[in-house]
Structure 1
Amino acid sequence: MKVIVMGAGVIGVTTAWYLAQEGHEVEVIDRQPGVGLETSFANAGQVSPGYSTPWAMPGLPFKAAKWMFEKHSPLVIRPRFDTAMFRFMGELLMNCTEKAYDINKGRMLRIAEYARDRLDALRADTGITYDGAQKGLIQLFRTDSQIEYAAEDMRLLAESGVEHKLLTVDEILAREPGLAHARHLLKGGLLLPGDQTGDAHLFTRRLAKMAEEKGVKFHLGVTIEALEAASDAIVSIRTSAGRMTADRYVLALGSYSPRFLKPLELRLPIYPVKGYSLTMPIADESRAPVSTVNDETYKVAITRLGDRIRIGGTAELNGFNLRLSPDRRETLELSFSEMYGGGDLSSAKYWTGLRPCTPDGTPIVGPSPRYGNLWLNTGHGTLGWTMAAGSGQIVADQISSRQTAIPSLDLSLDRYGV
């Protein structure tokens, strides 16, 4: 069966890999000249199933109102007339209930844990390397209230069978000695030993090369102009290189996915949420992370990638704007300087990307409700790298008419009733 995957980020490339493993003829289309050059390029570097948490949670409206007056707020809303943004915010707020939070986090943990296991298997089977490590993640708490609030997450982690442990400050420093200078700032931490790290861009490039060796054909530098449909099926993709056809199609275009379904009267509840990162060489080994930590106060991730440090964070609602904001850089630098300070910030590469977020935090993975030969693999938010191997395998299984290893019906677009 011939399958065209639209999008060559970490989601599209992993999907193409698993489809090729099933024996399908696979082609990938992307407007960029290489793979993994957008949201997958310089994300926080975390494969973090244990930290898979929806932004829509009880108490978020109060927190968001408070953050509006803070210079280093983890959430920034740029004033603009944008009906899509208003609709996304409204649907996000509707998910800020305890019931919705439990359901959404449970779904996210399910696919993220499965994805981590598939990534482990992929690494074992192929020997692929990507500046990765399997040393866990620590969520750092600066206040007693943060520890108290984490109790609900720990309950859900326990119910989902996810290993975790509440750490004292001494236990944190035993695992991350580079934080010794920040001892006075810390109250405790939540260890997620099953979480991992790795360079998503490097992984995507190397997996794409392996996929090519399996016969996958990449059409890079080719712009997708429209999906052409007849009644209940996609018949072709109109591109800058002409029309392309297949038996099955997979839409994995991240934040840009809704644009291609809107003309087909199918709404994807996805909005681009802007994130930022800094990447720098390690300047002082004694003050560098061993693995990865999340500064809960600023919602900033600090990750070691080989001999580099990646600092990522901020959720900014500003449409498709890709301007690099100086004040967002200040927040990343502040968190890192307070916690570690072992990197060369003067030589850091500053980057921004758009995360494709859904109101409930769960990606949209599965067949489309209207077009029988179209599959969706998009809307992973900040967790595309975390969930890539799992969602790619699920789509490959479904297209191959195989039973998925985990329940997947509630991951599809059907849950929104569109």
Structure 2
Amino acid sequence: MKVLVMGAGVIGVTTAYYLAKQGADVVVIDRQTGPGQETSYANAGELSYGMTSPWAAPGIPMKALKWMFMKRRPLFIWPLISPSMWKWGVDMVRNCNEERYRINKARMVRVSNYSRDVMPDLIAETGIAYDGRAQGTLQLFRTAKQMKASKADQEILAEYDSPYEVLGRDACIAVEPALAEVRHKFVGGLRLTADRTGDCRMFTIALAKKCIEMGVEFQYGQSIKSIAIEDGKIAGVNTEIAGRITADAYVCAMGSYAVNVLNPIGVRLPVYPVKGYSVTVPVTDDAFAPQSTIMDETHKVAITRLGDRIRVAGTAEIAGYSNRLGPHATDTVKYVISDLFPKGGDISRAEGWTGLRPMTPDGTPVLGSTKYANLFVNTGHGTLGWTMACGSGRAVADVVLGKTPEISFDGLTAARFASN
């Protein structure tokens, strides 16, 4: 079977790997010049199995209003004249209740836990290096109120068998010794011991090379004009340079841009781009740098150690498909790294980046089959694309090849949006 994968980010490349591993003839196309050039390029670096939760949660609308008035706020909303944006926002608010939260979280955890379980096998099979570490995530609380509120999260973590530790100030420092320099700035933390870290782009590039060795063909610089339909099936993908590319089956793994090619053929997904920012700085002194990932609960900023670099990522900006990196866009993430690890990295050499996270209003990705028998999707992972990549890639590959996936696809497919 010949399969065309649209998109060479971490989602598309992992899907291609699992397809090729099972004997498929795979072609991957992407408009960029290489793999991992967009949302996979400089994300937080977290493999956040313990922190897999939908943004749409009880109390979030009120929190969002409060965030809007913070000096270094984690959320920006630009009121655009965009029906899709406003509908997505309304649908998200509708999911901000206890019943929907539990349903959506269960679906998301199903994918992330599967990804957690299969990723070590992929690493063992390929031997690829990606600055990976397995030292967990430390959610850092600056106030006693945050510490107390985390009890609700602890109950949910226990319910889903996600291992964790509640740490006081000294225990946090034992895990992250450099925090001793700023011990007066926090009261404790919640450590998610199953979480891992790693450079998503490095992983994607290395896995793409392995795919090539397995016979996968990558065609870069291929912008998609349209998807052709004949006799109720996908007949090909029309590109600007290569013309029509045909296959037996097609997988759309284009992140936020999936809607641009799927909407015209009647596959309507409520995936909206939520912009995020990061900076990457070189480590100046290992003794004063983070050893794994620290999540600053106040500013919703992640600080992750990636080899001899520190990645600092955060902020959610709802502003359509803007990739603009303004002069003050990374002020919040720079502030957090300077505040918690002032001697750990060289801020003067910070490399700024912005990317678009493909978010669904319920937080759950969209995987598997569509109304067309030979078209499949793998998108909508939001901030958890890196976390869910291996699991969703393997599961979708199984579905494409007519095999029974190892996880249930109940509530994961595009069918859940059919009534919208």
What TM-score do the two structures reach when normalised by structure 1?
0.98
Q: Is 1:139 the counterpart of 2:124 in the alignment?
A: no
1:203, 1:183 → 2: CA distance? Answer: 34
Deviation track 1:250-286 (CA, whole Å, cap 9, x = no partner) reads: 0000000001111112211100000000001001222
- Give the match for residue 356 of structure 1: 358
- Give the match for residue 332 of structure 1: 333
Q: Is 1:400 the counterpart of 2:401 in the alignment?
A: yes
2:237, 2:84 → 1: CA distance? Answer: 25
- Give the match for residue 279 of structure 1: 280
- Give the match for residue 225 of structure 2: 225
Q: Secondary structure at the match of 1:116?
A: helix
Deviates more, 1:19-28 or 1:222-231: 222-231
- Give the match for residue 182 of structure 1: 182
Q: Shift of residue 299 of structure 1?
A: 0.5
Aligned partners of 1:102 and 1:156 also within 8 Å: no
Gaps of 5+ in 2: none
- Give the match for residue 86 of structure 2: 86
Q: Secondary structure at the match of 1:409?
A: coil
1:282, 1:73 → 2: CA distance? Answer: 26
- Give the match for residue 193 of structure 1: 193
Query: How many residues are treated as equivalent by the alignment?
Result: 417
Q: Secondary structure at the match of 1:165?
A: strand
Q: Shift of residue 121 of structure 1?
A: 1.0
Aligned partners of 1:314 and 1:328 also within 8 Å: no
Q: Is 1:125 the counterpart of 2:125 in the alignment?
A: yes
1:249, 1:216 → 2: CA distance? Answer: 14
Aligned partners of 2:164 and 2:193 also within 8 Å: yes
2:95, 2:147 → 1: CA distance? Answer: 23
Q: Shift of residue 50 of structure 1?
A: 0.6
Taking every aligned residue pair, what percent have the same amino acid on both sides?
Answer: 51
Q: Shift of residue 231 of structure 1?
A: 4.4
- Give the match for residue 347 of structure 1: 349
Cα RMSD of the aligned pairs, angstroms, is: 1.1
1:113, 1:147 → 2: CA distance? Answer: 25
Q: Secondary structure at the match of 1:3?
A: strand
- Give the match for residue 2 of structure 1: 2
Q: Secondary structure at the match of 1:382?
A: helix
Trace 1:184-333 onto structure 2 (pairs within 5 A).
184-240=184-240, 241-333=242-334
- Give the match for residue 12 of structure 2: 12
Deviates more, 1:351-360 or 1:395-404: 395-404
- Give the match for residue 48 of structure 1: 48
1:275, 1:231 → 2: CA distance? Answer: 40
Aligned partners of 2:118 and 2:391 also within 8 Å: yes
Aligned partners of 1:282 and 1:308 also within 8 Å: yes
1:307, 1:214 → 2: CA distance? Answer: 31
Deviation track 1:213-244 (CA, whole Å, cap 9, x = no partner) reads: 00000011111111111243111100121101
Structure 2 letter corresponding to 1:292: T
- Give the match for residue 173 of structure 1: 173
2:31, 2:64 → 1: CA distance? Answer: 35
Q: Shift of residue 105 of structure 1?
A: 1.4
2:133, 2:297 → 1: CA distance? Answer: 22
Q: Shift of residue 104 of structure 1?
A: 1.2
- Give the match for residue 367 of structure 2: 365
Structure 1 letter corresponding to 2:273: P
Trace 1:60-99 onto structure 2 (pairs within 5 A).
60-99=60-99
Deviates more, 1:81-90 or 1:226-235: 226-235
Gaps of 5+ in 1: none
Q: Secondary structure at the match of 1:101?
A: helix
1:148, 1:325 → 2: CA distance? Answer: 36
Deviation track 1:139-178 (CA, whole Å, cap 9, x = no partner) reads: 1111222223222222221111111111111111001011
2:148, 2:256 → 1: CA distance? Answer: 34
Q: Secondary structure at the match of 1:28?
A: strand
Aligned partners of 1:10 and 1:201 also within 8 Å: yes
Structure 1 letter corresponding to 2:143: T
Q: Secondary structure at the match of 1:353?
A: strand
Q: Is 1:378 the counterpart of 2:374 in the alignment?
A: no
What TM-score do the two structures reach when normalised by structure 2?
0.97
